[in-house]
Structure 1
Amino acid sequence: MLVRGSLLQVDVVRGGIFRLALLTRNGTKRVYDDSFKPYFYYAGVEAPRGFKSERVKKLVAGKERELFKVYCRKPGDVPASAELLRNKAECFEYDIPFQRRYLVDKGITPCDGIEVETEERNGRQFVKAIKRVEGEPFAPKTLAFDIETYNERGISEPTRDPCLMIGYADEEGTGLLEQGPRGFKTEKEMLEAFAALLREKRVDLLCTYNGDEFDLPYLKERAVRTGAVMRLGRDKAPVHVKRLGIRNRAGVGGRTHFDVYDAVYFLNYIGAIRLERMRLEDVYRELLGGKKVEIKKEEIWKLWKAGDSHVGEYCKVDALACFQLAKRVMPQEIELSRITGSQLFDSTRATAGQHVEALLTRKAFEYGELLPNKPSHSQTAARSQNPIEGAFVKVPDAGVYENIAVFDFRSLYPSIIVTHNVDPTTLNCSCCEDAFVSPKGHRFCKKKPGLIPRVLGEVLETRFKIKAEEKKAVGAKKEELHARQWALKIIANSFYGYTVYPRSRWYSRECGESVTAWARHYIQDAIRQAEEYGFKVLYGDTDSVFLTFKSGEEGKVKAFKEKVNETLPGNMELELEDLYPRGIFVSKKQGEKGAKKKYALINAEGKIKIRGFELVRRDWSPVARHTQRRILEILLKKGDVEEAVKLVRDKIAELKEGKVPLTELAIITSLRKKADSYAIKSPELGAVLEARKAGEKVDEEAPIEYVITTSGKTVSEKARLLSRAKDYDADYYVQNQVLPAVLKILGALGLSEDDLLTKGRQKGLGDW
Structure 2
Amino acid sequence: MIQDYYIIDFSYDVEDNKPLIYIWCVDKEGNRVVVLEKNFRPYFYAVLDDNPDIEKITDEIKKLSTPASPITNIDQLERKYYGNPVKVLRIETIIPAYIRIYRDQVSKIKGIKEVVEADIRFYMRYSIDKNLKPFTWFKADVEEIPNEKFRVKKVYELKNILETYEDKPPDLKIMAFDIEVFNKYGSPNPRRDPVIIIGVWTDEGEKQFITDDDDLKTIREFSNFVLNHDPDIILGYNSNRFDWPYLLERTKLRNVKLDIGRKINSEPTQGTYGHYSIVGRLNVDLFGFAMSIEEVKVKSLDNIADYLGILPKTQRVNLEWYQIPEYWTDDKKRKILLQYNLDDVKSTYLLKDAFLPFGEQITTITGLPLDQLSMASVGYRVEWLLMREAFFYNEIIPNRVEREYESYKGGLVIPPKPGIHEKVYVLDFSSMYPSIMIKYNIGPDTLVKGECDNCWVAPEVGHKFRKSPDGFYKTILQKLVEERKEVKSKLKEVENEYERRRLDERQRALKIMANAFYGYMGWLGARWYSKEGAEAVTAWGRETISEVAKLVQSEGFEVIYGDTDSVFITAKDESKINNIVKEIIDKFGLDIKIDKEYEKIFFTENKKRYAGITKEGKIDIVGFEAIRGDWCDLAKNIQKDVIVKVLTSSIDDAVKLVRETIMKLRRREFNIEDLVIWKSLDKDINEYNVDAPHVNAAKKAMKAGYAIFKGGKIGYIVVKGNGKISQRAEPYFMVKDKSRIDIDYYIDRQIVPSTLRILEQFGITENTLKNTGINIMDFFNKK
Q: Give the TM-score taking structure 2 as reference length.
A: 0.90
Q: Distance in 2 between matches of 1:113 and 1:136?
A: 9
User: Residues of 2 paired with 1:609 and 1:306: CA distance?
Assistant: 46
Q: Select 2:564's aligned residue among 532, 542, 545.
A: 542
Distance 1:244 1:711 in 2: 47
**Distance change (3 Å), C-alpha of 1:713 and 1:429:** closer
Name the CA distance, whole Å, in 2 between partners of 1:352 and 1:396.
Answer: 31
Q: Whole-Å Cα distance in 2 between the matches of residues 314 and 751 of structure 1?
A: 45
Q: Which residue of 2 aligns with 1:154?
A: 186
SS in 2 for 1:49: helix
Alignment of 1:11-50 (within 5 A): 11-14=11-14, 15-24=18-27, 25-44=29-48, 45=52, 46=54, 47=58, 48-50=61-63
Q: For 1:8 and 1:372, locate their aligned partners in 2 and report how far apart those are by CA, in whole Å.
A: 28
- 2:189 maps to a residue whose letter is E
Q: How much does 1:634 deviate?
A: 1.1
Which amino acid is the alignment partner of residue 531 of structure 1? Q
Q: Deviations over 1:308-365 (max 9, x none)?
A: 3222222122111100012321001111111011111211111111111110100010
* 1:625 matched to 2:636: yes
465-474 vs 603-612, which moves further: 465-474
Q: Which residue matches 1:137?
A: 169
Distance apart, 1:95 and its partner CA: 1.2
Q: 1:759 to 1:297 in 2, by over 3 A?
A: closer
- After TM superposition, give the deviation of residue 119 of structure 1 in Å: 2.3
Query: After alignment, is 427-436 or 76-85 more displaced?
Result: 427-436
Output the CA distance in 2 between the equivalents of 1:244 and 1:74: 20
CA distance in structure 2 between the aligned counterparts of 1:716 and 1:620, rounded to whole angstroms: 15
Question: Counterpart of 1:424 in 2: which secondary structure?
Answer: coil
Are the structure 2 counterparts of residues 712 and 117 from structure 1 closer, same or farther at C-alpha, using a change threshold of 3 Å? farther
2:292 matched to 1:261?
no
Closer, same or farther in 2 for the Cα pair 1:241/1:616, shift >3 Å?
Answer: farther
- CA 1:445/1:700 → structure 2, altered by over 3 Å: closer, same or farther? closer
Structure-1 residue corresponding to 2:781: none
- Superposed CA deviations along residues 101-152 of structure 1, whole A, max 9, x for unmatched, are 1110001111111223222456552111123122140532100011111111
The 5-angstrom pairing of residues 379-458 of structure 1 reads 380-381=403-404, 384=405, 386-428=406-448, 433-439=453-459, 440-458=461-479
Q: Is the contact between residue 618 and residue 668 of structure 1 (CA under 8 Å) also seen in structure 2? A: no
Letter in 2 for 1:582: K
Give distance in 1, aligned partners of 2:256 and 2:708: 28
4+ runs deviating over 4 angstroms: 120-124, 429-432
Provide structure 2 residue ranges, at least 5 long, that are not aligned to the other structure. 64-70, 148-154, 776-783
How far residue 369 of structure 1 moved from its aligned partner, in angstroms, is 0.9
Q: Deviations over 1:282-306 (max 9, x none)?
A: 1111112413223443332233233
**CA distance 1:450–1:81, shift in 2 (3 Å):** same
Instruction: Give CA-to-partner distance per residue, 1:447-475, whole Å, 9 cap, x none.
Output: 20101111011112222332343344442
Per-residue deviation, residues 496-545 of structure 1 (Å, max 9, x unmatched): 11111122111112211111111011000000001111111111110010
- Please give the alpha-carbon distance, in whole angstroms, between the structure 2 residues aligned to 1:164 and 1:83: 49
Deviation at 1:700, TM superposition (A): 4.1
Match of 2:724 in 1: 714
Query: Does the CA-based 8 Å contact 1:241-1:251 persist in structure 2?
Result: yes
> Which residues in structure 2 correspond to 1:184-583 (within 5 Å)?
186-237=214-265, 239-242=267-270, 248-265=274-291, 267-268=292-293, 271=294, 274-290=295-311, 291-307=315-331, 308-375=334-401, 377=402, 380-381=403-404, 384=405, 386-428=406-448, 433-439=453-459, 440-474=461-495, 475-550=497-572, 553-569=573-589, 572-583=590-601
SS at match of 1:43: strand
Query: Which residue type is aligned with residue 596 of structure 2?
Result: D
Paired residue type of 1:622 = D
Q: Which residue type is aligned with residue 4 of structure 1?
A: D
Offset at residue 601 of structure 1 (A): 1.3
Q: 1:78 aligns with which of 87, 90, 99?
A: 99
| 8 A contact 1:143–1:168 mirrored in 2 | yes
Contact 2:684–2:709 (8 Å) recurs in 1: no
User: Partner letter of residue 641 of structure 2?
Assistant: R
Asked if 1 retains the 8 angstrom alpha-carbon contact of 2:522 and 2:529, the reply is yes
Question: What is residue 662 of structure 2 aligned with on the other side?
Answer: 652
Q: Say which SS state the counterpart of residue 428 (structure 2) adopts.
A: strand
Contact 1:220 1:238 in 2 (8 A): no
Counterparts of 1:138 and 1:527 in 2: how far apart (Å)?
52
Whether 2:614 is the aligned partner of 1:603: answer yes
**Displacement, 1:713?**
1.4
Q: Distance in 1 between matches of 2:410 and 2:702?
A: 43
Render the CA deviation track for 1:385-404: whole Å, top value 9, x for unaligned.
x3111111111132111121
Residue matched to 2:206: 174
2:769 counterpart (756, 762, 765): 756
Instruction: Decide whether aligned partners of structure 1 residues 360 and 138 sit closer, same or farther in structure 2, where only a CA change above 3 A counts.
Output: farther
User: Offset at 1:710?
Assistant: 1.7
Aligned-residue Cα RMSD (Å) equals 2.0
Is this contact kept in 2: 1:405–1:548, CA < 8 A?
A: yes
1:96 aligns with 2:94: no
> How far off its partner does 1:698 sit?
3.1
CA–CA distance in 2 between the matches of 1:564 and 1:325?
Answer: 42
SS of the residue 1:161 aligns to: coil
Q: How many Å separate the matches in 2 of 1:297 and 1:387?
A: 42
Output the CA distance in 1 between the equivalents of 2:176 and 2:38: 33
Cα deviation for residue 230 of structure 1 reads 2.8
Deviations 1:621-678 (A, max 9, x none): 111110011111111122x111100000011111122212111111112101000111
Contact 2:659 2:772 in 1 (8 A): no
Residue type of the alignment partner of 2:24: A
Name the TM-score, length of structure 1 as normaliser: 0.92
Distance across 2 between alignment mates of 1:205 and 1:352: 22
Q: 1:637 aligns with which of 637, 648, 652?
A: 648
2:768 is equivalent to residue 737 of structure 1: no
**Would you say the 8 A contact 1:6–1:136 is kept in 2?**
no
Q: Which amino acid aligns with 2:724?
A: T
Quote the offset at 1:759 in angstroms: 6.8
After superposition, give the CA deviation of every residue in 1:401-456 in whole Å (9 maximum; x if it has no partner). Answer: 11211111110000000011112222228997332222132222222010111101
One-letter amino acid of the counterpart of residue 576, structure 2: K
Conservation of the 8 A alpha-carbon contact between 1:23 and 1:139: no
Residue in structure 1 matched with residue 778 of structure 2 by the alignment: none
Q: Count how many residue pairs are aligned between Structure 1 and Structure 2.
A: 732
CA distance in 1, matches of 2:463, 2:257: 63
Shift of 1:16: 2.0
**Structure 1 residues 618 and 6, CA gap change in structure 2 (3 angstroms):** farther
* Contact 1:111 1:344 (8 Å CA) reproduced: no
Alpha-carbon distance between aligned partners in 1 of 2:138 and 2:435, rounded to the nearest angstrom:
33
Q: Aligned partners of 2:264, 2:202: CA distance in 1, in Å? A: 24
Kindly provide the amino acid, as one letter, of the partner of residue 123 in structure 2: Q
The verdict on how the C-alpha distance between 1:433 and 1:72 changes in structure 2, with shifts beyond 3 A counting, is same
Identity %: 29
d(CA) in 1 for partners of 2:692, 2:772: 36
Gaps of at least 5 residues in structure 1 are 587-593, 762-768
Indicate the residue corresponding to 1:613 in structure 2: 624
Question: In the alignment, what sits opposite 2:158?
Answer: 127
**Aligned with residue 671 of structure 1, among 676, 681, 696:** 681
In 2: Cα distance, 1:473 partner to 1:741 partner: 47
CA distance in 2, matches of 1:136, 1:79: 40
Is 1:432–1:446's contact at 8 Å kept on the other side of the alignment?
no
In structure 2, what is the Cα distance between the partners aligned to 1:537 and 1:237?
Answer: 66
Amino acid at match of 2:599: P
CA distance in 1, matches of 2:171, 2:26: 7
Partner of 1:766: none
